Structure 1
Amino acid sequence: MTLTRSAYAQSPNLFATFGQANPEKSFIFTPSAGGASFGLSSAIPVNFQYQTTNGLGPVGINIPALLTLSSVNQGSLITEGGFLIQPLQNIEMRFTSLSAPSNAGDLLRLSLTTGNLITRPGSQTASLTGTESPTGGSVVNFASDYLDFSVPLQNKNFSISLTSIEPRIADGGNGFLAPFTATGTGNFGSSPLPPPKNQIPEPGTLALVALGGLLFTRRRKHAA
């Protein structure tokens, strides 16, 4: 396996990012008998941001959301050029807005056939990357209640940067990385940018709507 620039899932057309809302080490890599998994033990709070001005509000506005993530190992650990590469498959990721209506809360959903967890021995950082292959070997599927992914898109990719890894990265000696926990941030890209499908209220607007509803309820109680 040869690492190339595309292996790190960089894209000039960044459409979304996320960061953890707390510093807890919620990302978990766990080897088991004959296999391994990477993901979250439960949904975690994150700050999700759209990085495009295509009708979704100002760039970089934090949207409180919950993230779920799961994957399983695809094959044995690979050592190349000083890197440790843990293949993964069936990666599933979902960002659910905490402020949008329950029937329109999916800010972004991702499914990926194959990806790679890339790091170095003794490191406290790593990257989980996935890029759609032109040969069909790896397929990235995006979906959203607010972005239109039915249009033809190329260079679909994502990258999660893991930091504060504990214990430090090591070869587990069983074909997988040794178990670890970490914090994470991530980004998502495509060419071209996906067009908008629905308008999501800004956090300030959501607060005003909630306040207005509360005042209306109080007035009705006083009137009664």
Structure 2
Amino acid sequence: MAKPGPDTIRYGGNTSCVQVTSDAGTLLVIDCGTGAHGLGQHLMKEGPKPVRGHVLISHTHWDHIQGIPFFTPFFIPGNKWDFYAPKGFGESLRETLAGQMEYTYFPITPEAFGAELSYNNLSEGVFRIDDVVIRTRYLNHPALTIAFRIEVDGAVVIYACDHEPHSREAADGVGQLDGQDLAHAEFLRDADLVIHDAQYLA
């Protein structure tokens, strides 16, 4: 749960939500945790013009999507947003994201969203959003989870949340990296900024 206060000033008090904007103005929101509320308020202060954006969801655990019902730009007619998330089993992406807004749990359903929303399933590979090239890689986590390697304007940003080492030796920080752990390290190579978990130990 988000718990902002004096003890979280250095590291923040919201669940995952990161904004990346290219020089050309392409707006990416990576994960939509509770930080999305403040980001939405910030975007609304920038002016009355319609907001065009893209939401990259690493996985659908609650702390990565719980800001969706509180993100003001989703409620504004004229705005347009695309969701991108790993394709899971069974439900559609829209149904999965809307699950937390079922009337049993929340008083406002996704039908209240005034913006135009579209949903895109992801797997490992490469895709482009306007001027941004995005490479994806599966992570090791108890849900279908994807890392994003964002390349734009001569810079590389990696977002790899909730990843756990594949081998005990890698988790302990000893021995040589190989297999999937080496492939993960290669995915991070030469990035200008890496946003990555550090809490998982053997």
Give the TM bin, normalised by the shorter chain. under 0.3
Q: TM-score when scaled to structure 2?
A: 0.24
Q: TM-score when scaled to structure 1?
A: 0.22
Q: Whose helix fraction is larger, Structure 1's or Structure 2's?
A: 2
Q: Whose strand fraction is larger, Structure 1's or Structure 2's?
A: 1
RCO higher in 1 or 2 (8 Å CA, sep ≥ 6)? 1
